[in-house]
Structures are given as structure tokens and as C-alpha cells.
Structure 1
């Protein structure tokens, strides 16, 4: 009997591999009965666990395809883009239906207790503030990306003189969300701080209402949109506290009438006669400072920002930049900071390529790099960070050197008047090209950004090849020893700019 050759890999093979990984993960987290919830973001499987003492963390990290773990509000397993979607589906399929209500309730109560304890450990004021900022702005990123790409396409068509009957429609579609982004910020702010979302949106809507032009505050007529997302955030936050105060004394029979009316009235008046003016001044200062930073000290600013962004991501401090990006996009149509920060990921890609070339005898590490590199080129840097550079140590530092060089390149051209910006936040790496905008036209802007990426790749590669691997002897399962990455925002399909 002859033996037929094995058929080539099919999508079913990936499903089978995901099913195997899912089963192994469940085994190392205490079994299916210990899992109370399942979710995922772009790179991480997020499990709610009833008893975290049952987790075999060393076993989890040793599994093929597992790049690291994070013990946060949920127990997070870093799998990388694409793989996390398939594994999540298989984990959900392997979980049995709740046939024991009493046991399920007991596990849920235990899980809630452990979750509360974990939150208390991580509840420093700084961490809570950054997490709340992320929870407000990260859900808006898909719309920012979609509208930003349409704005870029529309600008290209206008410059080329193509489809003049279509471009007004594209402009309306691309600009509609940005015109009302204050309302969405208000909704998310109220939701995050325990208020009624629609009331937060109603108060924030005052900021963008055209009729505010008839209102005078501090001797100056207000302008619709003055204060932008910062004013909307402040207005909705105030509205949340006013609402909660009202509910402490308004009789239950009148609560449905008085509380919403007083919330909108009090918060709306304070917004019109105070918050919009103050937030407008702050927003203008942010825009002025960002532009001055790059046009005056561009190379130095790019060097520092590009070099420090990966450590900022590791510490979770990059979340504080989200409202700054959004403010800049509101003011000028693009953020000048994101392309500079994206150079950090270019350095990471260059460092990974150097590791791949130097460590030719480490098949496991090279396999990790091959699977993670496409995502890194498109701006998703976690697989390379937690699977390659951090476990090795020094390559993480040389990746920062590459990011600093790329940032200095982009910043240098900003000093020459060729500002590079992004019409949306979220993507980076090659994925940022469709979102580029700047002062020098699309061709010059794309060329400067591409030059920055190439500089980051080259310097990251060279620094790692010659200085980043001295004395490094990685173990076969380097990814298993990676330090746990910090928490990331709960956002489907969203990652911090990383390449």
C-alpha cells in the first residue's frame, strides 16, 4: 500500500491548532469550571477566573504560541493578532453550559471577591486615572480610523481633481463623526464615572451646538466646539457628579423629572460660562506646544519621544497621550505626535530582524519572530516585545535606540517645515500610510514618514546586531520567561502604536 503525501496546510489546520491551544490553556487555568468569563482584544485572551490560585503560570508560558501572561482585572494571555480570535472561539466552545447554578454562583462570588482584591492592589490614583482615560477614548478609535482614512482618500481625490461630484459626500461622511465627537466623549465619560451616559452626552453636546455663538463668556463670544474633547470630558464629568448629588435628595417620585433637568441645567450653565473657555485655552496651549516642540526642537524632540515611547507603553503611560492626539486632530485635522511615536515600533522591528539573523541556531526564537514580524510591520508590537526583545533584555534597549533615530529623522524634517501628521490614532507602521497628512503635501509627507521607518529599521538592526546580543544565550523557550506586560485598554482590535 502506498503512502500519499500529506496535503498542504488548510484553514482547518489552524482551527485544529487553536483548539489544541485552547484545551491546553483551560487545563493550566484550573479547568473549564474555573472560568467565569471569556473575552479578547487584539492580542490577548482575557479570562475571568473564579480561583486564580489554580493557575499554572509556568505551564501557560511554556505553551507554544503563548507569548506572556498578565494578572490584572482579568487574567490575560498574550497570543498575538489573528491567533487570539481563533483560540477565543475554541475556548468558548470548550466551556460547558452552566448546569450547576449553585456551583456557578459560588464561583462567581469567589471570582468577584478576587477581582475586587486585585483592583485594590492596582488602585493607585495614577493607574486609575490612566485606565479611565483609556476607557473613555479607546472605544472611539475605530471610528477615528475609519473617518480618518476616508478623509485622507477625499483629500487625495480633491488634490487630483478626480470625482468632483463624489468628494463633497466623502467629506461629509468623514467629518460627521469629528463634528460630534464631543457627544461620544460625554457618553463614555458619564458611563465610566457612574453617571447616566445619555445625560453625559446631552451636557457635552452643548460644546458643539451652533447656538453657543450667541453666548458671551468672559467678555468674548463663544465658538461652537470651543474646548473640544477636553471641554466635553469636563462637562460630562461635572454632569455625573451633579446627577449623583441630585439623586441623594430628590424624592423618588420626582427623580425621573427633576434629576435629568437639573443635571443638564446646572452642568450646561457651568460649561457655557466657565468650562468651555478654560478648556479652549488649554486645548490651544496643547496645540501650540506640540507644534512649537517639533518645529523648533524637532530633531531633539523626535529623538526623546521616539526613544522613550516603548518604555511608556510598558508602563501604560502612553494612555495619557490619547486625549492630546484627539485634541490635535480636532484643531488641525491631524496629530503631529503619532508619526514620531510610531518610530519606536520601527526600532523594534529592526531589533527583531537582527535577532533573527544572529540567532540562526535558535529555531524556536526564529519561529516566534517569523510569526510576529508581519504584525510588527503593521504596527502591532506586542508579540515582538514580549516574545523577543524583552526576554533577551538588551535588544529592548537597542530597539529604543532605533526608535530614537527614526523619531529624530521625522522631527528634523518638521524643523524644515515638512510636518508629518496622522488623521487618526490607533494604527502605526505601514498601516499609518493611508492616514498621513502634513504641511508638505501627500508625497513629501509619505516620503518623510517612510524615511523615518527605514531609519528606525536600520539603526534598530545595527544597534542590536553589534551591541544588543553580546553574551546573550537565549533558552529554547525564551518567550516563556518574558516578564508580564502591563494592562492594556479593553478595546476590540485596538493596540497602542508600536511600529
Structure 2
């Protein structure tokens, strides 16, 4: 994947930076909150290179990229202010949606940055627990102590991490939030848990454990964000910077200990107890529901609502029953796409199904399988749901629970080995894999095999004239480097009007401060350099006015540079302007080159992609 091309195409498709209120990403998706949905070119976004699918859920426009979403997110940060350190993850001027959508958006924004650290340390803890279970490691050794600290520290101090992300979401001061969260997990405070007769200025305090807690810090940071605005407005400017955090810590931490903590502990305990009751009284039913519906929840973005429930389970009982049947849901979809790979005769579908299966089995990332294969084919997705229902029911019937917060995948199975029946676990996993695989292979699906070779989507680029003037062959340029084609192939124009326009929709890849040259990049990957005049860099920007900047999205016909032709020629410079395609490996040839009088916007030449030459 060309990350920069994908980033530019997606950003343009959602209506540009100006139409985006906020942007975050999760494990596989870019999650946009837009201001005006009518400005989204949904067909263009779906057609962008590297995009697997799109979805609209939880008040967000979601673009499914797959495992490489962080790289695309980083490229968007380079060409906009949406994804950088100063990006605002909370939508302040976009559509609010209903209460459920707003809750899902909040949980997604707060937990998304923590996801991989939680999953990675949780996986380490799972492997460590498995090593102890199988007798490979003695849990009384200092080696175990060190490894346990490495795997347990992040979830233990989760309130500190949530303080940062919640502060960013609610627009609160992050370090004040950290100071509050730090009090929650301070050693002497932790030691008070369970101690009788605790008072604060004579007021009885029911101390609960804030280790690994979620609800108290999110609630208190929300209160902090509102209190800060009031204090900043009321306190004198000379003292508000240090008095505000002092007052907030002094008021909000005791408020948590006296009210919010015990109340949230009651809520968490109730939720965890309710989940525990379901998975104790009718475990197979809970497992079947979670195993069957989990991927549906993922499609609609509703799965984020379960994250607080999972952390509440872990904090209360040290186990997560909700996670166990999800392994069946994930592996069932991976098995279904494997069945597609075995049965299909379509080479393109095989090439998509194979890596999708590997991603699902090993990493638990099923978006490539679901959106790229199973959902479009319909039956494999249904077969995967059936496998999830059966496997999830068996796993939960065996009393299986995860001992750490992990992303369900083949690599994370050790997290399930410390609780419940190992036999039922592997029986459930086997059923979840075998049933959808066999159904897909035997019952089948409508195989999109074309009797004749499917036409290849053209990547050729029509380059329009960026100038009003006279088009001449590149060999006519009075410069050996350009004329010889060393920098690329193209056409030159001798301009008669000092205005340079965009020859196609593009991102400005380079805007030289001297104004003598502009580099453009098309969404399909073509890179074009327009060099106004020969050796005009020596003018140092004199007689040139640049109208765009690097990273800016431009449309065909947009004004890029204005320049003074009489002044440039009077200074002794040739004004002949080469327009060349510089990435010759992808675009090794040009065609339909124009010569003679041209106006800006007229067809100038066709940049021919490598695959088109191969077909020819």
C-alpha cells in the first residue's frame, strides 16, 4: 500500500480537512466525525487504494484499512491538522447523534489509543500464566516477579492512562488529570482498601480499589473539564494556573473517595455480577449470543460498549467471561474465509482470502475477511456466525474465562487456559473452526469466476495543460536534463499568460518557496513535476507568487502559481515549462501528447501506467 496516496484519497473523499470534526483510528479503521455527510464522496472513498470497506455507525464514518491503518493515519497527520499531536479527538461542531452513538464515540475515543498496549501486555500475561500452568516457570522465582510486573503494570495503573485519553477527549488539562489519577493508585491509598473506620475530616470513607478501575477516572475527568472552565474564568490570571489544579485535586479526589468511587464500585460490581450470573446460570446461552453477534457488533461499531464491562469484570473478579466466546467468533470468520480460499476458482479472490485468513487466525483482525470476502459473498459470513454461536456456546459451557484483557486471536489462546475445562475450550474452538470451513467448502457460495479475463481498472492519468500557451515536445526544451528525459517523460509548454493551474486533482507534494516549481501527486500514485522556466530557481522567488502550500488538496483548474513572464524573460531566462511524470517505474511512458496552441484545461498528454503496458 502507498500510504500517502491512500491518505490523500480518503481525506479528499470525506470532503477534505474542512469537513472533518475529528479523526481517530482503532485497530483497523479510520473513524471520522464529519460536519456535513452530503459532502462525502462514498464511491471515491471505497475506490481509494488500500480501502477494504466503509461503514457508518456510532455517529462515525468509518473507513476500514486493516492492519496498516496506523501508517495511513500518520500520513493524514502529515497533510492535515486532523491526526497530529494537537488533533482534537472530540467532535465539537459535528452532528451529535443519539445518546448511544455519543456513548460509543466517547468510549472509542478514550480506549482506542490504549488498545494495543492493553492487548500486548495482556498477551504477555496470558503466556506467563500458561508457562506457570504447564510447569515451565516457577511463580516463586524473581524471574516470574519481573515478568509479572512487565505484564501487569499497564492494567494495574490503567487509571493513569485513561486520565490522559479522557483529558484529551473532554478538553481537560492532562497533567492535572494525571495528578488526580495518581492519587487513586498511590501506594498508601491502595493499602487502605479493606481497612475499617477510615475517615476524612470526620466523614466516614468506604475505600474501594481503584487499581485497574475505569469508571471513576472517566467521570472525574469529565467533572474536571467543567470545573476548570469555571475556575479559569473566575480566578485572577496571576494565580489561576497553579491554584486551579490545586483546588481540583483537593476537591475532586476526596469527592471520588467519598461518593464517586463507592458508587462506581457498586455499578461495576453489579455489572460484573450480572455477567457472572448469566455465565453461571446459563453459560452456553451467554457464550452463544456473544459468539454469534460479536462480529455484527463490530460491523456497527457497537463493540466498544463492551470494553468497560470487560474491564469491570477483570477488576472485580480477575477474570473476563465476556472475552472467551469471542475467540469462537473471530476464528469462525477466519475459518470461513479459509473455506473461500479453498473452494474459489477466482484468482483475485484467492489472493485476497489467503492473507485475510492469516490475519484472522493469528492477529484476530477479521475486517479484511469480513469486508473483503465473507460479507460480499454473504453465505461465508453467515457460516461464520453459525460457527461463532456453536463454538461460543461450548466454550462458555466449559466455564472458560480470560485471565487478561486480550484481543481474541490464535496467539492469545493461552489467556483462556487458567479457568474452566480445557477439553471444552478446545472442543469449542475446533467446532468454531471446522463448522464454517466445511459449510463454506461443501455448501459453497456464488463464486465470482469470470469466464473471460476481467478488465483491469486503468491507472492511466490524463494530464491537462496547466498553462495557456504552446505545447512542444520535451526534446525542444533548452536543457539537456529535461530534454533527455532523465527526470521523466512528458511535454513542455511555452506559456503566454503567467498563471499556472493544477492539471489534475492532486495533493501538493512540493511547493518550492522560490515559486519556480510545483510537485503534484495523484491519488493513483502518479507524481508530476512542473518546472516554470529554465534555471529560474536563481531568481530566488522574484517574479513568482505561490498560491498553495505543501500538503494542500487541489482540484484540476485550481490556481497554483502566478508569475511575471515579461520580467522573467527580461532577466534573461527561458520561460519554457516542462511538465513531466517523475515516478517512471510506475508510469514509464506517455501517450496522446499534444503540440501546438493549448489553453489550460486542455488535454496535454496521457501518463500510461506500467500495468497498462503489460496488458498491451
TM-score (norm. length: structure 1): 0.73
**C-alpha spacing 1:240/1:87, structure 2 compared with 1 (3 Å):** closer
How many Å separate the matches in 2 of 1:28 and 1:140? 25
Secondary structure at the aligned position of 1:166 is classed as helix
In structure 2, the partner of 1:178 is 155
In structure 1, the partner of 2:347 is 363
Q: What whole-Å deviation, never above 9, does each CA across 1:133-161 have from its counterpart, x for those lacking one?
A: 12222322333233323433443454527
How many Å separate the matches in 2 of 1:50 and 1:224? 41
Pairing 1:265-344 to 2, within 5 Å after superposition = 265-344=250-329
Q: CA deviation at 1:26?
A: 4.9
Specify every segment of 5 or more residues in structure 1 that has no aligned partner in the other structure, as ranges.
Answer: 1-17, 99-103, 481-499
Aligned pair partner of 2:125 in 151, 173, 192: 151
Specify which structure has the bigger relative contact order, considering alpha-carbon pairs within 8 angstroms and separated by 6 or more residues.
Answer: 1
How many Å separate the matches in 2 of 1:267 and 1:25? 42
Aligned pair partner of 1:167 in 144, 159, 162: 144
How many Å separate the matches in 2 of 1:288 and 1:76? 34
Contact 1:340 1:406 in 2 (8 A): yes
Mean CA deviation greater in 211-220 or 328-337: 211-220
How many Å separate the matches in 2 of 1:315 and 1:356? 26
Q: What whole-Å deviation, never above 9, does each CA across 1:79-127 have from its counterpart, x for those lacking one?
A: 4325x577778x689x8xx9xxxxx99x99xxx9xx979x634643322
**C-alpha spacing 1:301/1:29, structure 2 compared with 1 (3 Å):** closer
Contact 2:104 2:304 in 1 (8 A): yes
In structure 2, the partner of 1:431 is 411
Pairing 1:466-477 to 2, within 5 Å after superposition = 469=445, 472=446, 474=448
Is 1:205 aligned to residue 205 of structure 2? no
Contact 2:331 2:410 in 1 (8 A): no
How many Å separate the matches in 2 of 1:146 and 1:345? 18
How many Å separate the matches in 1 of 2:385 and 2:435? 10
Pairing 1:185-200 to 2, within 5 Å after superposition = 185-200=162-177
Is 1:458 aligned to residue 458 of structure 2? no
Q: CA deviation at 1:250?
A: 1.7
**C-alpha spacing 1:161/1:67, structure 2 compared with 1 (3 Å):** closer
Is 1:140 aligned to residue 140 of structure 2? no
**C-alpha spacing 1:473/1:290, structure 2 compared with 1 (3 Å):** same
**C-alpha spacing 1:456/1:241, structure 2 compared with 1 (3 Å):** same
Q: How many correspondences in the alignment?
A: 430
Structure with larger Rg:
2
How many Å separate the matches in 2 of 1:183 and 1:28? 34
Q: What whole-Å deviation, never above 9, does each CA across 1:257-315 have from its counterpart, x for those lacking one?
A: 32112211221221111111111112222222222221221111111111111111111
Secondary structure at the aligned position of 1:431 is classed as coil
Aligned pair partner of 1:420 in 391, 394, 401: 401
Is 1:374 aligned to residue 358 of structure 2? yes
Pairing 1:50-129 to 2, within 5 Å after superposition = 57-58=42-43, 61-62=46-47, 66-69=51-54, 77-82=63-68, 120-121=94-95, 123-129=97-103
**C-alpha spacing 1:44/1:171, structure 2 compared with 1 (3 Å):** closer
Is 1:245 aligned to residue 230 of structure 2? yes
Contact 1:350 1:457 in 2 (8 A): yes
Contact 2:123 2:412 in 1 (8 A): no
Q: CA deviation at 1:68?
A: 1.9
How many Å separate the matches in 1 of 2:321 and 2:110? 22
Contact 2:156 2:211 in 1 (8 A): no
How many Å separate the matches in 2 of 1:438 and 1:400? 26
Contact 1:35 1:49 in 2 (8 A): no
In structure 1, the partner of 2:608 is none
Specify every segment of 5 or more residues in structure 2 that has no aligned partner in the other structure, as ranges.
Answer: 458-616
In structure 1, the partner of 2:488 is none
Q: CA deviation at 1:27?
A: 6.6
**C-alpha spacing 1:34/1:305, structure 2 compared with 1 (3 Å):** closer
Q: What whole-Å deviation, never above 9, does each CA across 1:405-449 have from its counterpart, x for those lacking one?
A: 1111101111xxxx3314123x21202124334334xxx54x544
Is 1:389 aligned to residue 374 of structure 2? yes
Quick check: which one's helix share is greater? 1
**C-alpha spacing 1:28/1:433, structure 2 compared with 1 (3 Å):** closer
How many Å separate the matches in 2 of 1:330 and 1:166? 25
**C-alpha spacing 1:253/1:168, structure 2 compared with 1 (3 Å):** same
Secondary structure at the aligned position of 2:402 is classed as strand
Secondary structure at the aligned position of 2:275 is classed as helix
Q: What RMSD in Å do the two structures reach over aligned CA positions?
A: 4.1
In structure 2, the partner of 1:7 is none
Secondary structure at the aligned position of 2:358 is classed as helix
Q: CA deviation at 1:207?
A: 2.9
How many Å separate the matches in 1 of 2:268 and 2:35? 44
Secondary structure at the aligned position of 1:438 is classed as coil
**C-alpha spacing 1:158/1:462, structure 2 compared with 1 (3 Å):** closer
**C-alpha spacing 1:161/1:352, structure 2 compared with 1 (3 Å):** closer
Pairing 1:226-245 to 2, within 5 Å after superposition = 228-245=213-230
Contact 2:345 2:447 in 1 (8 A): no
In structure 1, the partner of 2:541 is none
